Amino acid sequence: MLKKKEKYVVAVVGATGAVGNEMIDTLEQRKFPIEKLRLFASERSEGKTLEFEGSEFPVETLKEDSFKGIDIALFSAGAERSKIWAPVAAKSGCVVVDNSSQWRMNPEVPLVVPEVNALDLKWHKGIIANPNCSTIQMVVVLKPIHDAARIRRVVVTTFQSVSGTGKKAMDELLQQTTDLLNFREIKCNVYPHQIAFNCLPHIDKFLDNGYTKEEMKMVNETKKIMGDNSIGVTATTVRVPVFRCHSESLNIETEKKLTSNEARAVLSAAQGVVVYDAPEKNVYPLAIECAGKDETYVGRIREDESIEKGLNMWIVSDNLRKGAALNAVQIAEKLVEMA
């Protein structure tokens, strides 16, 4: 476990990426108790500097002894690097919060969303997994509903922004949009099809069961985080031409009947959730309004008239913040609180 200190030596691994940058900003905005900040990235980033609290910090390359003296390391450098370096960091006495998919379904590694299952942090062995971005915002909403009425089944369709793929995808959407509006030929490098003015029902690789890896992440991670394998989950994940924020359509079947007003009351009291729901006034969560926000926004809450105990709702959250950087920093904050 983390040793109690007034301030901590913190590392960000993958610091030059979109999520790494967001982690640095989030640490500063939330005034995390940092004694010293270390930044790491791949060899091509060596020599660069990044700003934190008004000072420039050098970007280093990882070495076997890099984690000596570091208390907490926030990883967002991809599964392959995490597979190699997270155990190295843990052996050095550092607690790793990893944003990749590498450790999420490992039974020895807690998969944590602090609003949902913070107590799982008690059994970590040096590595803690940050869930998939689309799973995080969903379970923040599902947990209070599950506590109130016990969820039987969830059907989710996601509308995920291109920032979930990374900076190159954001650049591709911008370039394709510019080229199309100027009647130029477009190029597809990141995605297999045009993303500008289009929707792609394809995130990550397709599996033998017809689902994508992203869809099965949502199925399996939800059950692990919620601590209930009896919940049925099925997902369709879609990439949309939005720069930032993931949106999701949820259909939830419960054991106990919850009216839409009861669901609003339950969600209004939930940590990390904002009910934004007045459709008669055109008030519902929008990606452009949720970007840069920490909370998960919920609207279009209504009873499913096709089943006796069902709810429909629309949720939006910033995938770079709550879906990645913020959740990782919140885990670090919980570790400090529990030390």
Single-letter code of the amino acid located at 43: E
Query: Which tokens go with 114?
Result: 């602090």
* Cα–Cα nearest to 235, from 264, 257, 209: 209
d(CA 50, CA 59): 7
Q: How big is the CA angle at 296 (ends 287 and 335), to the nearest 5 degrees?
A: 130
H or E element that contains 167: helix 167-181
d(CA 324, CA 327): 6
Q: Given the DSSP bridges, would you call strands 72-75 and 8-13 parallel, antiparallel or unpaired?
A: parallel
Q: Which residues does 294 contact at the CB level (< 8 Å), separation at least 6? A: 272, 318, 321, 322, 326
Q: Which residues does 320 contact at the CB level (< 8 Å), separation at least 6? A: 18, 19, 22, 163, 244
Hunting for tokens 């869809």 — which residue is that?
A: 215
Q: Which residues are catalytic?
A: 133, 246
